[in-house]
Chain A
């Protein structure tokens, strides 16, 4: 184990914690910049043609915003695509589909190969949706989501990283993040929607506010399990409609608080070993707490 990781492990046993430097050089974790006013504008819904293509795009839109009901076989938790991709996948700075689609095929360290856009979507299902069964690349769900993404990217240049892509990076607090302060932010700003225990809120069987940890949330393999990624998402888009209202430090603090809770196991688990899985998939994946001990509890055990 390298000294930085060892130092990180030691420091993680108590809060506040020093954030490690983030190494990123591929498509697994995207460098994001603050969206600018000249961001790309996807087409309007009213411009959709009333033909087979238009219908497929609408189907993709419906799956994207109501994934649990429209693609139930492939969703293993309480999440919908639009929970992390605000404004139905349109909002700049919230990993918009129009900025993602033209960047594939692309290499991803996450699975160490060049991924097609269909494979990238499958990754979302496997990790963020904790899918019990990944939708086939040539099946109707991936087909419709691809059509929706393609249409949103109408007129976007291929292979050029557009402003507003991914989530804009937020610098880590110099003094490290503070879990206790994160909990305070959570109680004051987040609990009204996501509930006092992070389990979201439902109407009937539909989650209106998604669960942030626990059995119904994204799993330990999802990009959002990285504190730096969650901080970037939160800073830009949370509380919903009040993006950029939290300080950079509080975005990190509350992201760390969220991601210091147990969630479903990383489906890439190696030989049932948290340590092996951490070394292979988490040790160099941004700032995350998989396989770390926080307040005396080992994280990464998974929860069903």
Chain B
């Protein structure tokens, strides 16, 4: 038992250094691209701060859980998340590079969001879907899974907060069309397929708009 605390401390230092290393190693991948030239630099489209390019619909990656980002890159490769831009890039990244860049992105600060929930008023179509759901069609409140303000929960429910309306609407459409089918147990697919065009637009704009609000304490 005597050596245990020291061994544990040593293990922790090792863990931290591995993490730090992964983060450090991720930076060149993000800024300059992978070893394979087809793995273009992430920052070109997702921005130097990884907050995305809203006008073009490129999502923010800063602050996303590493397990989520890593899974998306694997899913672009396999085609369960079809995307003509990301598929060749993800295919050209090595597994190690995917891990490194995902770890590095998880450490970046996410934008602040108002933590609205089911107790708040829902005056618009978007807010109604987000905070009340459309239960006649078995559509839960978005915040029931994505958390207050859509900040994301765990590694399976990504943030909606701080994403652009263009990106969010494109993802909902991808689920409706079946080009994105990488969610656990079709949890998102069945929701997206129950929405109409107006609702997709409204709820995407609702969450995109939250990111620009002041954070409530």
Interface of A toward B, CB cutoff 8 Å: 45, 61-62, 65-66, 69-70, 82, 86-88, 90-91, 188-189, 192-193, 195, 201, 203-204, 206, 208-209, 239-243
B152, B185, B191 interface centre (most CB from chain A within 10 Å):
B185
Which of B119, B147, B154, B187 has most chain A Cβ within 10 Å? B119
Residues in A neighbouring B144, C-beta threshold 8 A: 208, 240
Across-interface contacts of A66 in B (CB, < 8 A): 117-119
Assuming the contacts A87-B133, A206-B148, asked whether A241 and B138 have C-beta atoms less than 8 A apart, the reply is yes
Q: Beyond A61-B119, A208-B144, is A91–B132 a contact (Cβ under 8 Å)?
A: no
Contact across chains for A241 and B118 when beta carbons are under 8 A apart: no
* A193 & B145 in contact (Cβ 8 Å cutoff): yes
* Known A87-B135, A90-B135, A242-B185; contact A70-B119, beta-carbon cutoff 8 A: yes
**B140 contacts partner chain A, Cβ-Cβ < 8 Å:** yes
B122 interfacial contact with A, CB 8 Å: yes
Q: How far is the CA of A91 from the CA of B138 in the complex (A)?
A: 10
Further contacts, 16 of them, CB under 8 A, given A62-B119, A192-B156: A45-B122, A45-B132, A65-B117, A87-B135, A188-B185, A193-B156, A201-B153, A203-B147, A204-B115, A206-B117, A206-B148, A208-B144, A241-B138, A242-B138, A242-B185, A242-B186
Instruction: List 21 A-B residue pairs with CB atoms under 8 Å apart, sorted by A's residue number.
Output: A62-B119, A65-B118, A65-B119, A69-B119, A87-B135, A88-B132, A192-B184, A193-B145, A203-B147, A203-B151, A204-B115, A206-B147, A208-B153, A209-B153, A239-B185, A239-B187, A240-B140, A241-B139, A242-B138, A242-B190, A243-B138
| Across-interface contacts of B140 in A (CB, < 8 A) | 240-241
Contacts of B156 in A (CB 8 A): 192-193
Hey, which chain A residues are within 8 Å of B119, CB to CB?
Answer: 61-62, 65-66, 69-70
User: Quick check: B153 and A203 within 8 Å, CB to CB?
Assistant: yes
Q: Are B135 and A86 in contact (CB under 8 A)?
A: yes
Q: Indicate the size class of the contact surface on chain B.
A: 20 to 34
* Residue of B122, B138, B153, B185 touching A189 (CB-CB under 8 A): B185
Q: Tell me the bound Cα distance from A88 to B115 in angstroms.
A: 18
Smallest Cβ-Cβ distance to A242: which chain B residue: B190
Q: In the complex, which residue of chain A has the Cβ closest to the Cβ of B133? A: A87
Contact between A88 and B118, CB atoms less than 8 A apart? yes
Q: Which of A61, A189, A193 has the most CB of B within 10 A?
A: A193
Q: A192-B187, A201-B153 are in contact. Are A240 and B135 (CB under 8 A)?
A: no
In the bound complex, how far is the Cα of B159 from the Cα of A59, in angstroms?
28
C-alpha gap A239/B184 in the complex (Å): 11
Q: How far is the CA of A208 from the CA of B153 in the complex (A)?
A: 8
**Footprint of A on B, CB under 8 Å?**
115, 117-119, 122, 132-133, 135, 138-140, 143-145, 147-148, 151-154, 156, 184-187, 190-191
Shortest Cβ gap from B160 to chain A (Å): 13
**5 nearest interchain CB pairs?**
A65-B118, A62-B119, A203-B147, A66-B119, A87-B135
Q: Are A241 and B154 in contact (CB under 8 A)?
A: no
Complex CA distance for A162 and B143, rounded to whole angstroms? 30
Name the residue of chain B whose CB is nearest to the CB of A241: B140
Contacting pair A240 B118 (CB below 8 A): no
B190 partner residues in chain A, CB cutoff 8 A: 241-242
Name B147's closest neighbour in chain A (CB-CB): A203
Residues of B within 8 A of A209 (CB): 145, 153
Question: Which residues of the other chain, A, contact B132 by a CB distance below 8 angstroms?
Answer: 45, 87-88
Q: How far is the CA of A240 from the CA of B153 in the complex (A)?
A: 15
Q: Which residues of A contact B118 (CB under 8 A)?
A: 65-66, 82, 88
**Chain B CB within 10 Å — which of A45, A88, A203, A239 has the most?**
A203
- Please name all residues of chain B whose beta carbon is closer than 8 Å to the beta carbon of A242 when the two chains form the complex: 138, 185-187, 190
**What's the nearest-Cβ distance from chain A to residue B217, in Å?**
11
Report chain B residues within 8 Å CB of A189: 185
Minimal beta-carbon separation of A165 from chain B (angstroms): 17
Rounded to whole angstroms, the CA-CA distance of A45 and B131 in the bound complex is 12
B145 engages A91 (CB within 8 Å): no
Contacts of B115 in A (CB 8 A): 204
A86 to B185: give the CA distance in the assembly, Å. 20
Closest beta carbon of chain A to B65's beta carbon, Å: 12
Complex Cα gap A201–B157 (Å):
11
